[in-house]
């Protein structure tokens, strides 16, 4: 995965020779352009790339949510009719 692809997957964009994303609610950059040739990831970018590739390799993109347990209600007792003895 290239730095540009990682940035796009994380909802980011390239601006002013930097790959910018929003991380934990704050604007961050994950890489910068080196010698006007290619982007190079910084420490945060490398960390996010490793996490992304590990989740793809293992196949654990998201953990499935557990279904809530529902208890079955006991049937209501039958009402007696007036004519029953």
In a domain, 63, yes or no: no
Task: Convert the pLDDT of each residue in 6-63 to its tens digit.
Answer: 999 999 999 889 999 999 999 999 999 998 889 999 999 999 999 988 887 776 555 5
Residue at 37 is within a domain? yes
Which residues form the domain of 48? Answer: 3-56
Residue 67 has what pLDDT? 60
Residue 64 lies in a domain: no
Q: How many CA atoms lie within 13 A of 59 on its CB side?
A: 0
Q: Is residue 77 part of a domain?
A: no
Number of domains within the chain: 1
The answer to the question of residue 80 being in a domain is: no
Q: How far is CA 13 from CA 10, 17, 32, 39, 71, in A?
A: 9, 10, 12, 12, 49
């Amino acid at each position: 995965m290239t730095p540009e692809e990682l940035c796009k997957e994380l909802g980011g964009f390239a601006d002013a020779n930097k790959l910018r994303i929003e991380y934990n609610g704050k604007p961050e950059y994950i890489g910068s352009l080196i010698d006007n040739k290619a982007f190079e990831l910084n420490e945060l970018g490398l960390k996010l790339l490793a996490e992304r590739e590990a989740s793809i390799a293992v196949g654990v993109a998201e953990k499935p949510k557990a279904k809530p347990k529902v208890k079955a209600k006991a049937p209501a007792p039958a009402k007696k009719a007036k004519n029953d003895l």
